[in-house]
Structure formats: C-alpha cells, structure tokens
Copies of this chain bind each other. A is one copy, B any other.
C-alpha cells in the first residue's frame, strides 16, 4: 500500500514509544522526529493517530491469531476429538505468544501494548481488538471449557481473566519489576524465565478449589 520504508519506520518507532509512555502521552511529533520522518507522513499513510495505533496492534495480532489458529488446528487433530489437557492448551498459547515477536525481540513491547489496550483505550481500541480478534479467544476458551469440566462456566470465565491479568500485568510491568528483582536477588530475569515460573502458578490457580458460596445480602 506504500513504500515499506517510511511506514515501517513509523510503526517501529511508534510501538516502542507507545509501550513506554502510553498513547495519549506520545505525540505524533515525537514519533515522526524520532523516526526521521515528516510529520504529515503519519496522516498520509495511516489517516489518523487512531488508525496508527490500530495498525501497531494489527502487526502483532494478525500473525498471532493466524499462528494460534494453526496451533489449535494441529492440537485438535492430534487429540482426535479427545479432550486436550489444560496444561497443553496453556503451553500452546504461551508458545505462540513467544513466537510472534521473537524475530524482533519485541515481546516486551507486545506485552506492554496488550496491557495498555486494557487499561488505557477506553473506546476504539478495545472495540477494535474485540471485533477483529475475539474469535480466537472464543475458540480457545471453548477448548479450556472441555479441559476443565468441573468448573462452573462463570467460575472458569473469571479464572481465565484472573490469569490473563497475571500474565499481562507481570510481563508488561517487567522492566520495573526486573530492576527490583535484580537489585534484591542479583538475578537477571528473562521473559522465558518468567513464563517458566508462571506455568505452575497458572495451572494451580485454574485448578484451585471452588470458592465458598456467596453470603446472602445483608452483611456490612
């Protein structure tokens, strides 16, 4: 649709700045000057700042959803109608998340962007992501449902979001946490390290005992 050079430079610069400072806090002038590109280039190639933001996400989410669908295809074929264990499903998702930005070593950026999509974007972004990429998530949750038949539907819904929060929060705040961890435990933590640590936690969390039933209304 355009010379790859300018467009790519804008995207590369924008995703880093967005991840570092958020959307509203990153001006087009900051992006274009750092990318050594004319200010008008953003509006020319993307139309608006909103569309730039969506394009930044699309560059991660398009390959992700494609790979994830493929991975789930293979999994369903391999298990031939039998239930896919929860660990395998989680493992597959983790692997796919790791694969996509691996080429550019931008997993951290990817995670920060996902975090921002939840916490910042009030309107257009969340809607865009939901409409554009909601189907993979639906497919995944259905497989999780089959893998955890003992969980009531709404309990599983919430637990999945609990774990989504765990992962996104941790990986998107990684830099700040890493500094503390490094200072206190003298250990440099990689993303792969964290995912290794996350796995047993997530699995145990999903298999936690059911909560005690809610108390009826009327208590302070």
Minimum Cβ distance to chain B for residue A214 (Å): 6
Most-contacted residue by chain B among A170, A198, A201 (CB, 10 A): A201
Pair A120/B181 contact, Cβ less than 8 Å:
no
**Beyond known contacts A119-B120, A161-B173: 10 more, CB 8 A cutoff:** A20-B122, A21-B122, A24-B24, A118-B169, A154-B184, A154-B185, A165-B168, A165-B170, A197-B211, A205-B208
A88 within 8 A of B: no
Pair B158/A181 contact, Cβ less than 8 Å:
yes
Which residues of A122-171 have CB atoms within 8 Å of chain B's CB atoms? 122, 126, 153-155, 157-159, 161-170
Query: How many residues of chain A are within 8 Å of chain B by beta carbon?
Result: 57
Pair B204/A209 contact, Cβ less than 8 Å:
yes
Answer whether A211 and B200 are a contact pair too, CB < 8 Å, given A166-B166, A170-B161.
yes
Complex Cα–Cα for A28 and B57 (A): 30
In the assembled complex, which residues on chain B have CB atoms less than 8 Å from the CB atom of A214?
193, 196
> Which residue on chain B has the smallest CB distance to residue A192?
B214
A101 within 8 A of B: no
Which residues of A172-220 have CB atoms within 8 Å of chain B's CB atoms? 172-173, 176-177, 180-181, 184-185, 187, 189, 193-194, 196-205, 207-212, 214
Pair B204/A207 contact, Cβ less than 8 Å:
yes
Minimum Cβ distance to chain B for residue A166 (Å): 5
In the assembled complex, which residues on chain B have CB atoms less than 8 Å from the CB atom of A187?
154
Contact of A208 among B115, B120, B157, B203 (CB under 8 A): B203
In the assembled complex, which residues on chain B have CB atoms less than 8 Å from the CB atom of A185?
153-154, 157
In the assembled complex, which residues on chain B have CB atoms less than 8 Å from the CB atom of A208?
200-201, 203-205
- The 14 listed contacts between A and B (C-beta, < 8 Å) are A22-B119, A118-B169, A157-B181, A157-B184, A161-B169, A161-B177, A162-B166, A162-B169, A196-B211, A200-B208, A201-B205, A202-B205, A204-B207, A205-B208
